[in-house]
Amino acid sequence: MRVAGLATLTALAVLALGQPALAQQAVRPAPPPMAAPERVLAVDPADRTLGREDAPVTLTAYLSTVCSHCATWHEADFPEIKRRLIDTGQVRVVWRDLPTNPPELALAGAVLARCAAPEHYDDALGALFRGQATYLQSGNVDGWLISAATAAELPLDQAQACVSDDARYAEIETRARQASSLGVRSTPTLFLDGVVTSARTADEIEAAIAGQPRPAPPSAD
């Protein structure tokens, strides 16, 4: 993918942030684990998901693209979750954004990932998480965003147009406010069928599924 002569994605992302930063919603002291809500919004067509729509269990994951704990979970635990539970049709994952500090970078990463085709969302997300160490620690934000676009097979001209679209940032901020209003305060926060869970590994999620009754799906309001 050729990058010479292109305006930086970072500059476009910063210019696109016309609304107040989301720090007050997204960056707060984490409450005790059981203080998290026991319900989430129902899956909607705009959500990014992975797995079969008719999977019997839904895992909802609130993540931030700059969250190191999210990156560790996605790199260390999620591949086995995908192999054992998602690819076998037992679990469907619903990805949700909750930008954390620094909000400008978290928002830009979230928007870039959602610019990718839905089937490549997790590719972009994975690249952003891996890039925390390889790009963000050295201050190379352009490289971080470009690596995600490359992983998602997203042409850079489309990526540039996407990260300069105010409406895309407004969508992420709206979703983050919804999460905050439901009590989600930290990332990663995971839910199994709408019930907050401390399970993180494939073994723990399997045990949680086996040990709890299946609640009704969360309502949309």
pLDDT digits (tens, 9 = 90+) for 178-219: 888 888 989 999 999 999 999 999 999 999 999 865 555 555
Residue 217: inside a domain: no
**pLDDT tens for each residue of 1-50:** 323 323 445 544 443 333 333 222 233 333 333 344 446 677 888 899 99
Residue 173 belongs to some domain of the structure: yes
Within the chain, residue ranges assigned H as helices are: 9-16, 23-26, 68-76, 78-81, 103-115, 121-134, 141-151, 156-163, 166-181, 202-211
For residue range 127-181, list pLDDT tens digits in order: 999 999 999 989 999 999 999 999 999 999 999 999 889 999 999 999 999 888 8
**Domain-located, residue 132:** no
> Does 191 reside within a domain?
yes
Number of domains in the chain: 1
pTM metric for this prediction = 0.79
User: CB-based contacts of 22: which residues, under 8 Å, 6+ apart?
Assistant: 99, 103, 106, 107, 173, 176, 177
What span, in angstroms and rounded, lies between the C-alpha atoms of 34 and 150?
39
- CATH classification of the domain holding 55: 3.40.30.10
114 within a domain of the structure (yes/no): no
